[in-house]
Structure 1
Amino acid sequence: MAPQPLIPQSQLVFSAELAAAVGLPEAVLLQQIKGLYLHQPATRRDGLPWLHVSRAYLMQLLPFWSEEELQAVCDSLESLGLLNIDRKTAAKDSILLAINETPVVRAVPAPQIAPVVPPAATTTAVKAAPDQAVNTKVTVTAASSPAPRPGKREGQPLPPDFQPSEDMLELLERFHGVPRGFALQQIEDFTLYWRERGNAGHAWQNRFKQHVQFQWARQQQEATGTDHAGQRGTGTARRTRDSSLESDLTDTSWAE
């Protein structure tokens, strides 16, 4: 097997502001698609520039995602109105898509429901006062309730049999220097933490990656601190790192 270069040939570039607004995976994919417009011809339709993109080429650009994870990020961007996907006319093994930089949220009109007078109430009122008009108050709850947001993906709890994918383990070891054995040792703590919280979410593979990277960095820092155990302030620094564990593990706004 040929040795891997220290510095990769290509690097991912994305906007920090965009990642904070729509999520880190969504910002990465959107930025990559934006770059494709510089090298591939687009077809104007319905006021949008449409591109035919090979699925294999997208997987080559983003090798750290599985096909299921890539599709989930595409669905997320589509639900946000930032990406249009044409599934009817797309060629085989490719995606026909268009970036929508000015998404418009269309209001869903409330259904028109004609008031219906219950038969029993009508009969009673007529018998009691045959010469008077019957006043019937009808409350339509469907029209007063706000329409649900279309296309919103609901998060799922962590699967009870969660295991990191082979691609994720390889990515952690190859690009982040985390040994495979160390990553596997974190599964128990990771699953125990999220099962106790009971939170629903998306992209559990990426959350596991974030958890392993944090624990690995923490171990390296503690190993360095052991060599300087006699210096003042070591205990305070360690307590500071420990107190940040909760906030780092729960900072999952990028995957919401």
Structure 2
Amino acid sequence: MAPRPLIPDSQLVFSAELAAAVGLAEAVLLQQIKGLYLHQPATRRDGLAWLHVSRAYLLQLLPFWNPRELESVCESLESLGLLCIDRQTAAQDCLLLAINESPASTAASTSQASHASASTTPAKAAAPTMATPATERKAPAAAMPRPAKRTGEPLPPDFQPSEDMLELLERFHGVPRGFALQQIEDFTLYWRERGSAGHAWQNRFKQHVQFQWARQQQETTGVDHGGQRGTGAARRTRDSSLESDLTDTSWAE
């Protein structure tokens, strides 16, 4: 006995939303036919893309159906206006069919075609929304709009640093809580007088406190980083550099 393959046959993929709308069998057949557009050339006619597909091949793809069941599903899709079948070839092994993705505007003409078995032309349908991969290109996707820049808000007149910010300053930057609280008045007065709108006022307060604390430490010791007492000009230069570092708010713009 020959060993069975690990994956004995191909797997079927179908849309659950489509199956809920038109039926499970109809969704399976419709998406199998749509997949054929990727591998077989289509003929443009009457605003639709027509495919020549043999019944035997469809039954090979869908072996759980017999010929009568396949024909029944085809008729169901045709009555829904989702599938057009050229009745000239319906009696032969090779079907000439086309998916109609705009059934609402063509339901009447498709219904007439299903009753006129001796008709010489298929029912006309509106221009399809499905593009034939071999002959049509997809339109380029529209560029995503850039997000609008945040406008910011003025500093609230009753601004207070959060407890988390006070704890962060004390624990990780060595700034006593009392010293940080003493800076609220100067910080509020400075930004209220400027009338500037901004973001992240808690972080701006943190920078303000860090700067004031570092300046106090330098004024108290009067010693530069090399351990020597600096001149007034050197201290001013160092303070200017420190102020630039601690008051940089470009990240919050």
Superposition TM-score, scaled by structure 1 size:
0.40
Superposition TM-score, scaled by structure 2 size:
0.41
Higher relative contact order, chain-length normalized (CA < 8 Å, sep 6+): 1
